[in-house]
Structure 1
Amino acid sequence: MTIDPIENLRAALAKPWQESSDFDLNPGFVLPENRVLRPAAVLVGVSRTPDGPRLVLTKRASHLRNHPGQIAFPGGRQDKGDADLVATALREAEEEIGLPRDAVQVFGALPAHETVTGFMVTPILAEITRDFTPRPDPGEVAEIFAAPLAHVTDPARFRVERRIWRGTWRNYYIVPWGPYYIWGATARILRGLAERTGPCR
């Protein structure tokens, strides 16, 4: 029996899953106990296309203070006016890429991910249920693109690389696709998804 890739994603929500962080591959790194993390949310939004499901991603603007030029899910910090983190993800996606909130079917929240920049990011898993015209916010988004879900949820596509961060080596996942170097928090969240879904063909 053929498993629907998007239903396979939904089923991943019920599987055992722990919170992750940008330091997962660096077991010797000790995080400060008194650190203050700012709540944020991102939309892990998948749409159906004739070529198979695709995941919507952005390339962040190069002038941003946090993660400039990196590949990211649409999303951002929680505002006081947001009812919850789902509302944060939907608002940010509408602002950053022009995705109407009524074009999104939310499946649920994945475990949170701690970033090196002091955010506790909750990924909101969802299906984009109809076509929309992508509209990048020029203040935050340099580009919008859609990567094949089969690629970014295939554990074999991931590699571990490292670079110097604050004077020490830091290891991290990457899952490159075409010209896009997907790494850091985005790749770590996708790695967790890949571990629970396997390749989605």
Structure 2
Amino acid sequence: MGKWRRDNSSKSQKSYHNIGSTLFTKGLTKGLWTSYHERWSHRGPLKSQMCGLHMRVPQQAAFEDCLSSKNEERCREHLQSNTALYEKKGGKSWAAVIVSLCTVGGEPAFLFTLRSSKLRGRHKGDVSFAGGKQDPSDTNIVETALREAREELGINVTENEVWGVLKPLNDSNVLFQSGMVIAPVLANLGPLENLSLRPNPNEVEEVFTLTVAHLCNPQNQGYTHFRTGNRYGYTLPVFHSDKYRIWGLTAIALDHTLKLIMPV
């Protein structure tokens, strides 16, 4: 497989492209589901002013400290209470995603994938974290996330790099309808420059990063109103850059993670 190189066209957004192969990138104007309505103004998505979906912009020192050992210890302690939520699964279908923290040039960031447009299902071509359904051979939900990281990104994430598991996300509303319960597993992969990414082309079209500073900027945040039938149903966060739109369960997991690692 060809090597992956970094595109430094934007400080807050890094892309890794497979040299010698063609990648098809989805823009912000891809088709939207008829089951929801996204509110856009002529200047872009309307910013969240309600429901506590996003947070205020932290100070620069907070960005620098979010991956510190002290903050890691605080986050690990906070996430310990979620362990009991995964002990009894009640016969439900479970999946896990690995919410991947990292650094790019020393700057805290998140690692995302663009799902292959060749995949089946509603969310092909969407931005996501690496993840998938739990296999019978997986002893726990963390092992599912680490296995999916190997299969999709070609990297070995150790349990020592895992900070913990966020509260489960229920994938059963009108928007998603899979009936899955999703476990967001938070891990710090360390410097991206030290990782040998080998994305699986059958599942991943593109790998890219967005900095924590970019994602915390209100100019890069929005929200989407969803309806159930003819009535308002709920509101979910949206994050965006010049090239990508992060929505759905990925945006929910990201929003929860930012509130954890960047308390303000």
Range into which the TM-score falls when normalised by the shorter chain: 0.7 to 0.9
CA RMSD of aligned residues (A): 3.2
Query: Which position in structure 2 is the counterpart of 1:45?
Result: 100
Q: Could you tell which deviates more after superposition, 77-86 or 3-12? A: 3-12
Q: Percent sequence identity over matched residues?
A: 29
Report the number of matched residues: 184
Query: Which position in structure 2 is the counterpart of 1:198?
Result: 262
Query: Which position in structure 2 is the counterpart of 1:172?
Result: 236
Alignment of 1:51-130 (within 5 A): 51-62=106-117, 63-102=119-158, 105-115=161-171, 116=176, 117-129=178-190
Alignment of 1:2-41 (within 5 A): 2=61, 4-7=65-68, 8=71, 11-15=74-78, 37-41=92-96
Q: Could you tell which deviates more after superposition, 170-179 or 54-63? A: 170-179
Contact persistence 1:58–1:74 (CA under 8 A) = yes
Q: For 1:122-153, what per-residue CA distance to the aligned partner results, in whole angstroms no more than 9, with x for missing partners?
A: 11111113512222212211111111122334
Q: Per the alignment, do residues 125 and 183 of structure 1 end up closer, same or farther by CA in structure 2, a change over 3 Å counting? A: same
In 2, Cα distance between equivalents of 1:102 and 1:197: 20
In 2, Cα distance between equivalents of 1:101 and 1:126: 8
Contact persistence 2:99–2:254 (CA under 8 A) = no
Length-normalised TM-score, structure 2:
0.60
Q: Could you tell which deviates more after superposition, 10-19 or 121-130? A: 10-19
- SS at 2:67's partner residue? helix
> Quick one: which amino acid aligns to residue 67 of structure 1?
H
1:71: Cα distance to partner?
Answer: 0.7
- Gapped regions of structure 2 (runs ≥ 5): 1-60, 83-89
In 2, Cα distance between equivalents of 1:175 and 1:41: 21
Q: Per the alignment, do residues 179 and 99 of structure 1 end up closer, same or farther by CA in structure 2, a change over 3 Å counting? A: same
192, 198, 213: which is aligned to 1:135?
198
In 1, Cα distance between equivalents of 2:141 and 2:106: 31
Bigger Rg, which one: 2
In 1, Cα distance between equivalents of 2:149 and 2:107: 22
